[in-house]
């Protein structure tokens, strides 16, 4: 699906993919074909090394044809790269409050043969972009210098198309070195966005050396319709149906464009898009759309390059050292099978279940290459029949299983044989910037309570980097053993 490409880290990566779903990424073949080094002037090389324009555009998902308003373009360090990326079908409105900078930029574009940049002399509190014309408002190393942040942000809203967003690339608080500028934390940006009529949708951390990326969108009223599960499912199915005629599948951008062409009011389009973006981590089809592209790309076996760990989970490896591999193991949310294959090597008879057909395909291929047998089942957590006393080992490593549901938890626990083990690792829910409900991150202490009738052998809550990179995130890790069945009283009296 064209809405998703490689960007982000763990759950951070997945949530960011959902948040940025309207911004369609450029296919890798197009990105690699562009050599824009000739556009960089000598005095910009140091800045571009810290904040590479092409890398930023890849993360954000800027593609050919976009119409972008750049706030604070200056002499065009980033502008020229934006212009090259959007191409002749796109356009850049380059805004600045310094007329001499814009004069320099116009001359620079003429020298470089760039014809898709139009300059706009703005005001400190008004960008003066044309109305309802922009796919994206972009600013890099600008917002922390703005004296009137809320009025400026408010001036951007009328310029955005119904699917448009505001993207700001700004120094992390730890890299903030300018005493005269504001230190941009998540909380400060959120407050200033709220005051302007926008909301901070997500903050992308850890992808750039010294910067965070903030994604803002116009606020949308929270309605009963947006919380009605039946209506949400119907909207989701309508969105999926909108992509049936396309070989690329459904696209939020194209869906929004079709609504706009039908005359659907802007606020209603934004409401529907807000609901749909939240469903990529809730609906089974959405989870497939996220993970299939991640699992289908060539992997380097390197956490930084791939964005996630391709080897077996370290906690699982440690946990099963002391468990004799004698029986059947179920890998719940197996992905590409990194843990299932490790267990098969140890001698377990393994079944891996997952929603991602691409992940399961990779798992089968890797198992065959290693001369191992691993069974795969494409299914959702709810739909799978776990059975009764079927598993000697149940593995849930960063799976999104709904353990908080007593019925589901009961089915899962019932499927473990007496004396069998559960090995679990997942992120813990956070008070600030909480994970979406579909991630099913447990609260602190909840997992211990849920498995209170098991013998808990290992239980750890800690902040760690985890298998998906990014900044340290609260995790919970557990090894629990189902208590053996107690023999009848008559049997216990026998010598």
The pLDDT of residue 38 = 80
Q: Please say which residue of 199, 218, 237 terminates a domain.
A: 218
Tell me the C-alpha distance between 140 and 70, whole Å: 9
The pLDDT of residue 272 = 96
Q: Same domain, yes or no, for 214 and 228?
A: no
Q: What is the pLDDT of residues 380-436, one digit of tens each?
A: 999 999 999 999 999 999 999 999 999 999 999 999 999 999 999 999 998 877 888
Give the confidence band of 7 by pLDDT, cuts at 50, 70, 90.
very low
Per-residue pLDDT, averaged over 105-133, amounts to 97
Tell me the C-alpha distance between 66 and 82, whole Å: 9
The pLDDT of residue 390 = 97
Residues 344, 367 contacting (CB under 8 angstroms): yes
The pLDDT of residue 379 = 95
Give the residue numbers spanning the domain of 177.
34-218
Q: Same domain, yes or no, for 347 and 466?
A: yes
Q: Same domain, yes or no, for 377 and 451?
A: yes
In this structure, the number of other CB atoms found within 10 A of the CB of residue 346 comes to 14
Let me know if residue 336 belongs to a domain: yes
Residue 229, pLDDT above cutoff 60: yes
Tell me the C-alpha distance between 19 and 279, whole Å: 10
- Geometric angle at alpha carbon 186, from 185 and 191, rounded to 5°: 100
Give the confidence band of 26 by pLDDT, cuts at 50, 70, 90.
very low
Q: Same domain, yes or no, for 58 and 107?
A: yes
Q: Same domain, yes or no, for 187 and 52?
A: yes
Q: Same domain, yes or no, for 74 and 117?
A: yes
Q: Please say which residue of 218, 242, 276 terminates a domain.
A: 218
Let me know if residue 459 belongs to a domain: yes
The pLDDT of residue 487 = 66
What single string gives the DSSP state of each residue in 13-65? HHHHHHHTTTSPPPPHHHHHH---GGG--GGGHHHHHHS-HHHHHHHHT--TT
Residues 458, 478 contacting (CB under 8 angstroms): yes
Which of 223-227, 374-378, 467-471 shows the lowest mean pLDDT across its residues?
A: 467-471
The pLDDT of residue 31 = 39
Q: What's the CATH code of the domain at 356?
A: 3.40.50.150
Let me know if residue 424 belongs to a domain: yes
Let me know if residue 487 belongs to a domain: no
Mean pLDDT, rounded, of the chain: 89
Let me know if residue 29 belongs to a domain: no
Highest mean pLDDT among 58-62, 191-195, 282-286: 191-195
Residue 197, pLDDT above cutoff 50: yes
Report residue 202 as tokens. 């997500």
Report residue 250 as tokens. 């459904």
Let me know if residue 324 belongs to a domain: yes
Residues 55, 36 contacting (CB under 8 angstroms): no
Tell me the C-alpha distance between 58 and 68, whole Å: 15
Per-residue pLDDT, averaged over 17-44, amounts to 56
Q: Is the dihedral of CA 176, 182, 188, 193 positive or negative?
A: negative
Q: Same domain, yes or no, for 361 and 384?
A: yes
Let me know if residue 399 belongs to a domain: yes
Q: Same domain, yes or no, for 427 and 336?
A: yes
Let me know if residue 443 belongs to a domain: yes
Q: Same domain, yes or no, for 282 and 328?
A: no
More reliable by pLDDT, 19 or 73: 73
Q: Please say which residue of 218, 237, 270 terminates a domain.
A: 218
Residue 243, pLDDT above cutoff 60: yes
pTM for this predicted structure: 0.78
Per-residue pLDDT, averaged over 50-59, amounts to 92
Q: Same domain, yes or no, for 67 and 189?
A: yes
Tally of structural domains, the chain: 3
- Geometric angle at alpha carbon 385, from 384 and 388, rounded to 5°: 145
Residue 488, pLDDT above cutoff 70: no
The pLDDT of residue 489 = 58
Q: Same domain, yes or no, for 355 and 275?
A: no
Tell me the C-alpha distance between 325 and 16, whole Å: 38
Q: Same domain, yes or no, for 337 and 208?
A: no
The pLDDT of residue 326 = 83
Per-residue pLDDT, averaged over 255-283, amounts to 94
The pLDDT of residue 35 = 59
Residues 179, 192 contacting (CB under 8 angstroms): no
Phi-psi category of residue 368: left, alpha or beta, with phi > 0 → left and psi -120 to 50 → alpha: alpha
Per-residue pLDDT, averaged over 428-456, amounts to 93
């Amino acid at each position: 699906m064209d809405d998703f490409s490689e960007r982000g880290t763990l759950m951070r990566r997945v949530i960011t993919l959902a948040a940025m779903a309207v911004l369609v990424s450029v296919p890798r073949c197009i990105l690699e074909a562009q050599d824009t080094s000739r556009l960089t002037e000598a005095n910009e090389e140091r800045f571009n090394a810290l904040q590479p324009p092409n890398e930023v555009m890849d993360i954000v998902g800027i593609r050919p044809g976009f119409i972008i308003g750049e706030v604070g373009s200056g002499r065009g360090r980033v502008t020229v790269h934006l212009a090259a990326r959007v191409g002749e079908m796109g356009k850049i409105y380059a805004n600045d409050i310094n007329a001499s900078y814009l004069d320099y930029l116009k001359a620079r574009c003429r020298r470089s043969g760039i014809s898709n940049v139009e300059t706009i002399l703005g005001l400190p509190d008004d960008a003066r972009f044309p109305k309802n014309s922009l796919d994206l408002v972009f600013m890099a190393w600008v917002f922390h210098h703005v004296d009137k942040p809320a009025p400026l942000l408010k001036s951007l809203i009328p310029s955005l198309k119904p699917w448009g967003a505001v993207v700001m690339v700004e120094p992390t608080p730890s890299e903030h070195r300018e005493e005269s500028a504001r230190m941009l934390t998540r909380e400060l940006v959120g407050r200033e966005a709220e005051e302007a009529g926008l909301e901070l949708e997500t903050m992308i951390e850890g992808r750039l050396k010294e910067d965070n990326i903030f994604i803002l969108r116009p606020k949308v009223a929270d309605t009963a319709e947006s919380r009605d599960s039946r209506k949400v499912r119907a909207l989701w199915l309508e969105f999926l149906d909108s992509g049936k005629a396309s070989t690329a599948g459904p696209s939020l951008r194209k869906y929004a464009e079709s609504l706009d062409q039908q005359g659907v009011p802007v606020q209603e389009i934004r409401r529907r898009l807000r609901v749909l973006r939240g469903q990529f981590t809730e609906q089974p089809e959405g989870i497939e759309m996220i993970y299939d592209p991640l699992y289908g790309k060539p992997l380097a076996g390197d956490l930084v390059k791939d964005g996630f760990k391709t080897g077996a989970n370290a906690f699982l490896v440690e946990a099963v050292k002391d468990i004799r591999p004698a029986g059947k193991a179920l890998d719940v949310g197996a992905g590409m099978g990194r843990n299932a294959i490790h267990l098969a090597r140890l001698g377990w008879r393994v079944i891996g279940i997952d929603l991602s057909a691409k992940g399961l395909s990779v798992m089968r291929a890797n198992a065959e290459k290693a001369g191992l047998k691993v069974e795969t089942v494409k299914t959702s957590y709810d739909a799978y029949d776990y059975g009764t006393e079927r598993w000697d080992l149940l593995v849930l490593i960063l799976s999104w299983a709904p353990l908080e549901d007593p019925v589901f938890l009961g089915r899962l626990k019932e499927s473990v044989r007496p004396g069998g083990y559960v090995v679990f690792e997942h992120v813990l829910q956070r008070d600030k910037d909480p994970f979406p409900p579909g991630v099913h991150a447990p609260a602190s202490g909840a997992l211990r309570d849920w498995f209170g009738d098991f013998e808990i052998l290992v239980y750890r809550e800690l902040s760690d980097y985890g298998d998906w990179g990014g900044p340290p995130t609260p995790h919970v890790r557990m090894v629990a053993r189902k208590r053996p069945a107690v023999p009848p009283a008559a049997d216990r009296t026998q010598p």
